[in-house]
Amino acid sequence: MAPSHARNAETARPVLSPEQWRTLWRNKTSKILRRQGAGEDVVKRYDVVINRFLEGHACPPALIPPHAVTGFIESSSAGPEFDRDTLKRFLTFFYHHVAPSPALVEAIARFDGNSPTPAAADRTGILLERLSEELRVRNYSARTLKNYRMFVRGYLSWLGRLPEKSDEAGIKRYQIFLKEERRFSARTVNLATAALVFFYGKVLGFAPAVKSLPRMKTGRSLPAVYSEQDIGKILAATTNPKHRLALMLAYGCGLRLNEICQLKREHISLDRSTITIRQGKGKKDRTVMIDEVLQPALRSFLKNGAGAVWIFEGQEAGTRISPRTVSLVFDHACHKAGVKKLGGIHTLRHSFATHLLEQGTDLRYIQELLGHSSSKTTEIYTHVSNSAIAKIRSPLSKIDLQNTGRIG
């Protein structure tokens, strides 16, 4: 039987109820008010308003549509003791100090007592559905669809109006907002930009308006890599056969997290010692090897533990294991093994590629095993290969340190 921590891995991240969600933001508001010297009577009044304002909203406050914010002010839903000016002041404070959103602060400031028509929100929903349709017809992945919808929804909320052809300058301001106000990484900002370029070009037909949008410079970060000794400790610390095999496949075959979760029986060929990865990243198929060291564990699990369809099943029979569960398994294994975490489970894939390179495997084969479209992507591992670096002699080796100044 799996350990209790493994059984509960799926639900390890707490899910907040609507009441707990509101309490979280109310407490944050009260804390900031007290830090600024507000009296308890003021704190209590803010608490009432924020609690009633957040009722019915499951999304983060910064993503609540402008019409919902101004509609709350117009309807005086907080109670007769709060007039519109008070509500505007309270929500301006909230969106300036607690849940920063310059777009909503501006929408509140512009509000003159006539709430924007809900048709704007309806129109946003229609635009998001059109976005989904354009992504599906091009066979984009479910993950890309989810990310693009999230970024476009956030942008439309920030914009506070329907998009127009002349929005290029506004999108640039939004890029800066994401980087400086929301503290997003340059890579995440670039992903948001890609979503908006697609949205304006393919959904709205405003391609010329966004053709010159800049991308943020990201620099180059080297992948984190474990030593072979640390890999051994991580695997040894994982005693559950199902979880151990998942980690062995991540390192032994260089599989991505989603590829592990989506493995089916039909993808495994023990006779040929291969695994076929179907529709991996970029909708590409590829084949990876099953090392003879991995064969016994995989053969045993296929016989005694695997599901009828999915190799790794979730808590319910017939469902596949979730990426979150596999990530938690990896986190727990690192903790139990006493190995410092260098990142998520994807570091096992980085380690696979680096160790193959250090063993002398041709870079072209590594590219094929990883499923990289470009050799440039695979070449990053040449920069973290310890064996190659260790062979380089420093110019210091030419100096006779016993007789300074003489060439050895």
* pLDDT tens by residue, 50-97: 988 888 676 788 888 888 888 888 776 677 778 888 888 899 999 988
Q: Are 115 and 74 in contact (CB under 8 A)?
A: yes
pLDDT at 375: 83
d(CA 116, CA 119): 8
**353 domain-assigned:** yes
d(CA 52, CA 79): 9
Q: Are 120 and 67 in contact (CB under 8 A)?
A: yes
Among the candidates 210, 244, 275, a domain finishes at 210
Q: Same domain, yes or no, for 250 and 378?
A: yes
Q: Same domain, yes or no, for 106 and 125?
A: no
Residue 4 clears pLDDT 90, i.e. is over it? no
Among the candidates 210, 241, 265, a domain finishes at 210
52 is annotated as an active-site residue: no
281 is annotated as an active-site residue: yes
For 239-273, write each residue's pLDDT tens digit. Answer: 999 999 999 999 999 999 999 999 999 999 999 99
Residue 399 clears pLDDT 80, i.e. is over it? no
Residue 387 clears pLDDT 70, i.e. is over it? no
Per annotation, catalytic residue among 88, 202, 324, 346: 346
Q: Same domain, yes or no, for 99 and 133?
A: no
Long-range (24+ apart) CB contacts under 8 A made by 244-249 are 244/297, 245/297, 245/298, 245/301, 246/312, 246/321, 246/326, 246/329, 247/329, 247/330, 247/333, 247/345, 247/348, 248/294, 248/297, 249/275, 249/294
CATH of the domain at 176: 1.10.150.130
Per annotation, catalytic residue among 149, 179, 281, 336: 281
For 200-218, write each residue's pLDDT tens digit. Answer: 988 888 876 666 788 888 7
From residue 401, how far is each of 97, 391, 398, 405 by CA, in Å?
61, 21, 9, 8
Among the candidates 152, 182, 210, a domain finishes at 210
Residue 7 clears pLDDT 70, i.e. is over it? no
Averaged pLDDT for residues 125-129: 84
**106 domain-assigned:** yes
**177 domain-assigned:** yes
**8 domain-assigned:** no
- Structural domain that includes position 331: 228-390
**256 domain-assigned:** yes
**192 domain-assigned:** yes
34 is annotated as an active-site residue: no
Q: Same domain, yes or no, for 271 and 238?
A: yes
Residue 347 clears pLDDT 90, i.e. is over it? yes
Domain count, the chain: 3
Place 194 in a pLDDT band, splitting at 50, 70 and 90: very high
Q: Same domain, yes or no, for 41 and 134?
A: no
d(CA 199, CA 172): 15
The model carries a pTM of 0.58
Q: Same domain, yes or no, for 62 and 139?
A: no
Averaged pLDDT for residues 333-362: 91
Per annotation, catalytic residue among 22, 153, 256, 350: 256
d(CA 307, CA 264): 9
CATH of the domain at 253: 1.10.443.10
Encoding tokens for residue 7? Answer: 């059984």
Mean of all residue pLDDT scores within the chain: 83
Q: Same domain, yes or no, for 175 and 43?
A: no
Q: Same domain, yes or no, for 103 and 124?
A: no
pLDDT at 9: 43
Q: Are 230 and 339 in contact (CB under 8 A)?
A: yes
Q: Same domain, yes or no, for 256 and 359?
A: yes
349 is annotated as an active-site residue: yes
Residue 15 clears pLDDT 70, i.e. is over it? no
Q: Same domain, yes or no, for 251 and 307?
A: yes
Per annotation, catalytic residue among 153, 332, 349, 350: 349
pLDDT at 5: 44
Q: Same domain, yes or no, for 137 and 194?
A: yes
How buried is residue 292: exposed, middle or buried, by Cβ count under 10 Å (0-12/13-18/19+)?
exposed
**152 domain-assigned:** yes
**403 domain-assigned:** no
Highest-scoring range by mean pLDDT, 30-44, 62-76, 325-339: 325-339
Q: Same domain, yes or no, for 299 and 377?
A: yes
